[in-house]
Amino acid sequence: CIYVVRKINRLGFESPSLLRRHYEQYGPVEWTLVAHSRVRCQHRAGLTRLRPSGLGFVVMARAEDVHSVLTQGSVQVVQGALIGVGGFTKHESLKGLEEDVEEDEDEEGDEGEEVEE
């Protein structure tokens, strides 16, 4: 029950909470996954700056809610910003890796938690 959101840098550093608030109108949002990036400054050696992420993932509780989101189109308006929205397809080469991760989580008893970076 995952979909991809693109061009979310337009939402700034608050993109995880803005995405959650917006897409909760379609159903329960379990996670918003966003990784902001660090970029080296060209003019000052050793300094980095944080940039808002341009890509994220939204995990919803139900597949029908994801379908409702995707039927709204591949370009949607969130907080006045146009963002790209698309389905998520699991890459074939990662399927075996996923089984290993699930086994590790079962052994650790990890319930998972929301990641908003």
Residue 96's pLDDT band (cuts 50, 70, 90): low
Is residue 66's pLDDT more than 50? yes
Instruction: Determine the average pLDDT of the residues in 76-90.
Output: 94
* Higher per-residue pLDDT: 40 or 102: 40
Residue 117's pLDDT band (cuts 50, 70, 90): very low
Output the CATH code of domain 2-108.
Answer: 3.30.70.330
Percent of the chain's residues with pLDDT above 70: 77
Instruction: Round to whole Å and give the CA distance between 5 and 101.
Output: 24
Q: Beta-carbon neighbour count of residue 58 at 10 Å? A: 27
Q: What are phi and psi of 79, to 5 degrees?
A: 50, 40
Q: Taking phi first (over 0 means left), then psi (-120 to 50 degrees means alpha), and beta for anything else, what does residue 15 get?
A: alpha
Percent of the chain's residues with pLDDT above 90: 59
Task: Say which amino acid occupies 100.
Answer: D
Q: Name the token pair of 62.
A: 């139900």
Pairing of strands 81-87, 29-34: unpaired
What is the pTM assigned to this prediction? 0.71
Please report where in the chains the tokens 């963002």 appear, as a residue: 83
Residues in the chain: 117
Residue 111's pLDDT band (cuts 50, 70, 90): very low
Instruction: Round to whole Å and give the CA distance between 97 and 44.
Output: 40
* Higher per-residue pLDDT: 114 or 74: 74
* Higher per-residue pLDDT: 59 or 109: 59
Distance of CA 44 to the CA centre of its chain: 31
